[in-house]
Amino acid sequence: MKEISVIGLGFIGLPLSLSFAMNEAKVYGVDVNKELVSEINQGHTHHKESFNNLTIQTILNDQIRNERFSALTSILDLPESVDTYIITVGIPVKDGQLVTGPIESVALDLSKRLKKGDTVILRSTVIPGFTNEFFKPLLELSGLKAGEDFHLAYASERIAEGKAFKEFVDMPLVIGGVTRKDAEKAREALTIVTKADTHIASAIEVVEMSKVIENAQRDVNIAMVQQYATMARHMGIDPKELIQVANTHTRVNLLTPGPGVGGYCLPNAFHYLVPKAKELGILNELSISQEARQYNDGIPDKIVKIVENKLQELGKDLAGSKIAVFGLAMKDFSNDDRISPPVYITEILTKKAGETRAYDPAVPTVYPFKDDSAYEAVKNADALLVLCEQEEMSSLDYKKIRELMKSDAFVLDTKHFFKKVCMDDINIYYF
Ligand SMILES: NC(=O)c1ccc[n+]([C@@H]2O[C@H](COP(=O)([O-])OP(=O)(O)OC[C@H]3O[C@@H](n4cnc5c(N)ncnc54)[C@H](O)[C@@H]3O)[C@@H](O)[C@H]2O)c1
């Protein structure tokens, strides 16, 4: 049985580990977060993935029970029999700066246990050039040479959270290797799970940069659509219908604007391009991506301004109002609140509004403004903001919610959620 280690057990690493385990591999997951490892080994996860009608919790418990999956806290504790490492530890961005410490420490730990013939596959999203310029030299502290003594490849991870299990199988795979043989070895391992087309690129850098621009172009597309949507609103036409009509063209794919662009991938993409562009002295050539990033970052403030204006029309000010928020995740039906515009909007509101309470049963993070009950959150509210949709929101009693809110309250709905549920006698504005 193939023995694999998946390093990093987050949104990507855990479902990826379980995908290999479901395909007859023995998988050792590694994560430095001791609490997370202990939770996972007890069969618990907050992730919202599912596959073939089984939740990730069920799949995790099945694979622990049949001894195909277990989690550890250190690479150094892995058994000798593991010969393939898949790395899913990311490079977070803090205030525009890339935090490479975690991924470098993975390389250093791996260098202490690499043996001849091993295969290392980096799947994290990285700065173009990172694998060859930074990751490889750290691995080679082992005394072994990539492309000669061990195999090193980069294969971008392209799945979307919420569809992870399905997309690990049917998302085309792109791979670059130090040598062609390295890429082939990575393909051999990864196609244990992936059944889609695979493409071996001429260089690792092609795959690294392709991954980043796949995300950056979505950031630009959304910024552009936000601007068209603003123009449509000023013209009195429905932006959503406008986009649907434009997308009937077979070569047009406008994305859906919402309360901002969030998550680990899209907002970080531009920042991954910056270091290499700076080094090459061509940062100004990325002005479109840069402007899109700034524009998308500004959407939460715009939404707060809309709330402020609507309150003013009612003779109220934000500082004296209570605002309720539904949805804190970075996208619908997700528990991921990393780089989440709904969280940013709520944080701005907590500073500017009299009171701000939020409801999101899927997000496990504890926030001072979060309520477990939607009814508690909306009590006496002057406005309700819908910032992302969660399953539980559809089964709430909206008659009761209306009664709990102030009589002149309004709803600002960035998700067109209130087209699905009914709440009488209240103004609903769609953003
Ligand atoms: N989340 C997505 O939808 C998505 C999609 C495509 C690509 N990616 C990329 O995949 C990578 C992982 O993303 P994610 O969302 O799973 O991140 P995550 O933060 O959920 O998971 C990363 C995990 O790595 C662990 N870690 C940190 N340092 C470690 C170390 N030295 N050794 C072992 N584990 C360590 C962290 O504790 C964390 O649990 C990133 O590069 C991201 O850009 C993510």
What's 356's domain CATH number? 3.40.50.720
Same-domain pairing of 131 and 8: yes
Closest protein CA for atom 17 of ligand 1: 10
| Span 274-284, average pLDDT | 97
Closest protein CA for atom 18 of ligand 1: 10
Tokens of 146: 């990539």
Q: How many domains in the chain?
A: 3
Closest protein CA for atom 39 of ligand 1: 10
| Span 197-221, average pLDDT | 98
Closest protein CA for atom 25 of ligand 1: 8
pLDDT tens-digit series, residues 26-37 = 999 999 999 999
Same-domain pairing of 132 and 256: no
Same-domain pairing of 334 and 399: yes
Same-domain pairing of 34 and 117: yes
Question: For residue 431, what pLDDT is reported?
Answer: 83
Please identify, by atom number, the ligand 1 atom nearest to the C-alpha of residue 12: 16
Strand bridging mode 370-371 / 355-359: parallel
Q: Is 162 in the pocket of ligand 1 (CB under 6 A)?
A: no
Same-domain pairing of 334 and 388: yes
Q: What are phi and psi of 324, to 5 degrees?
A: -105, 145
Same-domain pairing of 162 and 242: no
Q: Is the pLDDT of residue 212 over 90?
A: yes
Tokens of 140: 């080679």
Q: How far is the CA of 13 from the centre of ligand 1 (A)?
A: 7
Same-domain pairing of 241 and 304: no
| Span 281-294, average pLDDT | 97
> What CATH number corresponds to the domain at position 276?
1.10.1040.10
Question: For residue 142, what pLDDT is reported?
Answer: 98
Q: Quote the CA–CA distance of 88 and 104 in Å, as a whole number.
A: 12
Structural domain ending residue among the three candidates 202, 225, 253: 202
Same-domain pairing of 157 and 239: no
Q: H-type helices in 236-372, by residue range?
A: 239-246, 266-279, 287-297, 299-313, 341-352
Closest protein CA for atom 38 of ligand 1: 10
Please identify, by atom number, the ligand 1 atom nearest to the C-alpha of residue 160: 3
Q: Is 10 in the pocket of ligand 1 (CB under 6 A)?
A: yes
pLDDT tier, 378 (very low <50, low <70, confident <90, very high otherwise)? very high
Q: Is 11 in the pocket of ligand 1 (CB under 6 A)?
A: yes
pLDDT tier, 41 (very low <50, low <70, confident <90, very high otherwise)? very high
b/e per residue, 101-133, with b = 16+ CB within 10 A? Answer: eebeebbebbbebbeeebbbbbbbbbbbbbbbe
pLDDT tens-digit series, residues 75-119 = 999 999 999 999 999 999 998 899 999 999 999 999 999 999 999
Structural domain ending residue among the three candidates 202, 222, 252: 202
Same-domain pairing of 239 and 321: no
pLDDT tens-digit series, residues 127-153 = 999 999 999 999 999 999 999 999 999
Q: Quote the CA–CA distance of 273 and 77 in Å, as a whole number.
A: 35
Which residues make Cβ contacts (< 8 Å) with residue 116, sequence separation at least 6? Answer: 144, 149, 150
| Span 309-326, average pLDDT | 98
- Range of the structural domain that residue 161 is part of: 3-202
Which residues make Cβ contacts (< 8 Å) with residue 143, sequence separation at least 6? Answer: none
Per-residue CA distances from 145 to 82, 149, 152, 283, 358 (Å): 19, 5, 10, 33, 53
Structural domain ending residue among the three candidates 278, 295, 312: 295
Same-domain pairing of 174 and 63: yes
Closest protein CA for atom 33 of ligand 1: 31
Same-domain pairing of 145 and 286: no
User: Mean pLDDT in the chain?
Assistant: 96
Same-domain pairing of 161 and 229: no
Q: Is 264 in the pocket of ligand 1 (CB under 6 A)?
A: yes
